[in-house]
Structure 1
Amino acid sequence: MMDSASMPRFEAMTTGVLLDRAFRLYTSNFSLMLGITAAAYVPFYLIMVIIESRVGVNVQTPSGGLSTLLFQIVFMILWASIAFPIASGAATYAISERYLGNEVTIGEALRLALSRFWTLSIAQITATIRVLFGFLLLIVPGILWMLSYALIVPAVLIEGQNATPSLRRSRDLVKGHRGKVFCVMFIINLLQGILALGVSMVSGMIFNSDSAGGAVLNSAMNNLLSIFLTPLGIVATILLYYDMRIRKEGFDLEMLSRAITPNAESVAAVPTPSR
């Protein structure tokens, strides 16, 4: 784990620097990030795998029909409202504490995220539904909304925003920088997609995906890979949030410290509008 002296500088970053720091922060805090993600994702994935096996849905085959599509939609909505808010919220707190040179445990980070769970969940599920609706329209609105709502979790955890204001706050921070957010998200998702495809091909050769048992094992392998890869995207999102606030508001470590200190006034982390 990085000590405070070796943590990356708290400054505005280019896309390349941001991605490099995301990789370094993840690898140097690997056990912390992996533990947080596993604690949030493993129970959720186990429940979904059990449901998948019980109802006989095979999400690995494109010919699954309406039942497979409905299962995937339900899975995405539940993931966005339960597992992801916990993991991303805890990781946001953990990375912020590490930037301040403080030690943080998995349990401490999870407790902080759970204390804001309902706000995180409502904000994330609202954004997910809007993004899905946008994709149903003409795809482009879905992409734009997905980029605009990328910083919801840091807005809630660091600034103390409520659900609806966090959507507006994320949109305001991203405004003018959608291209950068898109590049970061595209590269991270491309990497995750390539690795997921490789694992899927290997597991497909080992397990018979046409059988119920093989489909469940394939799904379990993909879920395991997701646990390892998800923290990288979360860390990149946190760095995007820092970058946007540094550029637009002169955000610094002192403001970050005030924002994440328990019982501190969250308004201290957000500049008061001049009008």
Structure 2
Amino acid sequence: MNDTPGWASPGSAPSNGQQPDSTGPQPPEQPSDQAGTDQPQPPTKWSKEQPPSGQWTAPHPQGPGQAPPPPPPGPGWGGRPPAGPGGYGGPGGGYNGWGGGPNRGYGGQPGWGGNWGPPPAAKPGVIPLRPLGVGEILDGAVSTMRTYWRTVLGISLTVSVVTEIIVVLLQGLVLDDSATTDTLSDPSASLDEVSRALGDTMLSSGVVFVVALLGTIAATALLTNVTSRAVLGKSVTTGEAWRDARPQLLRLIGLTLLLPLLAFVIIAAGTLPGIAVALAGSVGAGVALAVLGGLGAGVVAAWIVIRFSLASPALMLEKQSIRKSMSRSAKLVRGSWWRVFGIQLLAQIIAGIVSSIIVVPFAFLAGALSGDGLSSLVNGSTGSLGWTFLIVSGIGAVIGRTLTFPITAGVTVLLYIDQRIRREALDLDLARAAGVQGYGSEAPGTTPRS
């Protein structure tokens, strides 16, 4: 017999040492003086092997005048409650209250919303304070932009306008590449002219890239503080975000320039042996070696960039140096490289799609409004399109950056927070900072780490 609390075997009697009465007429009690030799007695050994009193009951129904059976055990884990109007478990039916009414748990007691699993995690801000899924990270970035749109879009729009004005002025006044485009499209151009034109094109593209990169750095620095406050459900003004980001801005610029430079050095080192072989006379072998070396170096560069991709929020939120922030990023990404890579890649794809939906129509509109029409845009000779093309396409670029800055910056910050929640139980500190009472103090509310 199993006498575990909450469990009762059918037909068993209470183990309190009392023998329940049997039903039916009982034989008259023998007087003590008549218990003689004429009464058959069971063997001595048989009487000693009898089961103890109070362990067996009669298999037939209870007779009149007998004590009522003990009440069934209360509802609980394995207990069987009495049947109610809807069947086992009382009103609403269901065994042990399962499905028997709102907020009914196993055993007929109030449960966790009628479902298995721990109670929902606290959500003081845009994300729940627990390990996040991919959709929750993307939704958190969009929710930050939607909830605090005045600050987020104000920062993105300001940075985008300033950046695009500088780019347009450089392209219209300094980096006029119309001669370069004509040289590259001329089949009779000499090798020196082509090389000079390619150098000018790379210089122009590099200057535009650096200016756009500086704008991205500024937007990332400001939006990092906004997103970190949004996790706690707290708003922040543009001035407050700037005051928090300004002490770390130079370090962020150095970090953001260091990572592309590091990737460029790795790729250049991979292609250098092939270039040397090609210059030595074996052009075919040199080109093949350069391509293979470039592909291998590209893989290494991508691994390095993703490994240090969380250094920017670590630098801004933990007030770390460049070296320590890179070390923090490497520690957080270790063992989760593919996950971080996939989420970052997905965010970049989404941002690219959103930007293309806006920028491409503006580019075609700019080509149609310019003097040379759409043919110049299709041929790529944008240097001769003039100010009309630059201004109209610049407006599209401003709108595209305004919408994509919050997505890319928000995903990076939330991914950093998610990795710290998984590895360092940051959700407990965030809950205390947000003023959540009793978070993590009970076992059902604890969150497994990975």
Task: Tell me, yes or no, whether TM beats 0.5.
Answer: yes
1:104-253 map, 5 Å: 104-136=236-268, 137=270, 138=294, 139-208=298-367, 209=377, 210=382, 211-217=385-391, 218-252=393-427
1:27-66 map, 5 Å: 27-54=146-173, 55-57=175-177, 65-66=198-199
Output one character per residue of 1:94-118: Cα deviation in whole Å (capped at 9) or x when no partner: 1222222333101110221122111
Output one character per residue of 1:228-270: Cα deviation in whole Å (capped at 9) or x when no partner: 2111111011110001111111113536987xxxxxxxxxxxx
Q: CA RMSD in A?
A: 2.6
Classify 1:19/1:206 alpha carbon distance in 2 versus 1 (closer, same or farther; 3 Å): same
Classify 1:221/1:132 alpha carbon distance in 2 versus 1 (closer, same or farther; 3 Å): farther
Q: 1:268 is matched with which residue?
A: none
Higher mean C-alpha displacement, 44-53 vs 21-30: 21-30
Classify 1:28/1:254 alpha carbon distance in 2 versus 1 (closer, same or farther; 3 Å): same
Q: 1:263 is matched with which residue?
A: none
What residue identity is the alignment partner of 2:410? V
Q: Within 1, Cα distance between the matches of 2:431 and 2:243?
A: 19
Q: Within 2, Cα distance between the matches of 1:69 and 1:234?
A: 27
Higher relative contact order (CA 8 A, sep 6+): 1
| Deviation for aligned residue 1:223 | 3.5
Classify 1:6/1:159 alpha carbon distance in 2 versus 1 (closer, same or farther; 3 Å): closer
Output one character per residue of 1:195-220: Cα deviation in whole Å (capped at 9) or x when no partner: 33333432233222441224413244
Does the 8 A contact of 2:351 with 2:407 survive in 1? no
1:236 is paired with a residue of what secondary structure? Answer: helix
| Deviation for aligned residue 1:34 | 1.3
Q: Within 2, Cα distance between the matches of 1:187 and 1:133?
A: 26
Does the 8 A contact of 1:100 with 1:257 survive in 2? no
Q: Within 2, Cα distance between the matches of 1:135 and 1:216?
A: 33
What residue identity is the alignment partner of 2:143? R
Provide TM-score, normalisation by structure 2: 0.51
Output one character per residue of 1:157-211: Cα deviation in whole Å (capped at 9) or x when no partner: 2111112221222122112212112222222221222233333432233222441
Classify 1:86/1:200 alpha carbon distance in 2 versus 1 (closer, same or farther; 3 Å): closer
1:95-106 map, 5 Å: 95-106=227-238
| Deviation for aligned residue 1:73 | 2.2
Does the 8 A contact of 2:156 with 2:406 survive in 1? yes
Q: Within 1, Cα distance between the matches of 2:172 and 2:360?
A: 21
Q: Within 1, Cα distance between the matches of 2:363 and 2:228?
A: 39
1:254 is paired with a residue of what secondary structure? Answer: helix
Structure 1 stretches of 4+ moved >6 Å: 61-64
Output one character per residue of 1:126-150: Cα deviation in whole Å (capped at 9) or x when no partner: 1121133345543212322221221
Classify 1:170/1:221 alpha carbon distance in 2 versus 1 (closer, same or farther; 3 Å): same
Q: Within 1, Cα distance between the matches of 2:428 and 2:159?
A: 28
Percent identity of the aligned residues? 22
21, 26, 51: which is aligned to 2:145?
26
Q: Within 2, Cα distance between the matches of 1:151 and 1:166?
A: 8
Higher mean C-alpha displacement, 87-96 vs 228-237: 87-96
Q: 1:68 is matched with which residue?
A: 201
Q: Within 2, Cα distance between the matches of 1:106 and 1:253?
A: 28
Q: Within 1, Cα distance between the matches of 2:395 and 2:302?
A: 28
* Uncovered stretches (5+) of structure 1, i.e. residues with no partner: 259-275
* Uncovered stretches (5+) of structure 2, i.e. residues with no partner: 1-122, 186-196, 271-293, 368-376, 434-450
Count of residue pairs brought into register by the alignment: 252
Q: Within 1, Cα distance between the matches of 2:265 and 2:426?
A: 34
Provide TM-score, normalisation by structure 1: 0.80
Q: 1:267 is matched with which residue?
A: none
Q: Within 2, Cα distance between the matches of 1:214 and 1:134?
A: 40
Q: 1:15 is matched with which residue?
A: 134
Q: 1:270 is matched with which residue?
A: none
2:426 is paired with a residue of what secondary structure? Answer: coil
Higher mean C-alpha displacement, 88-97 vs 204-213: 204-213
Larger radius of gyration: 2
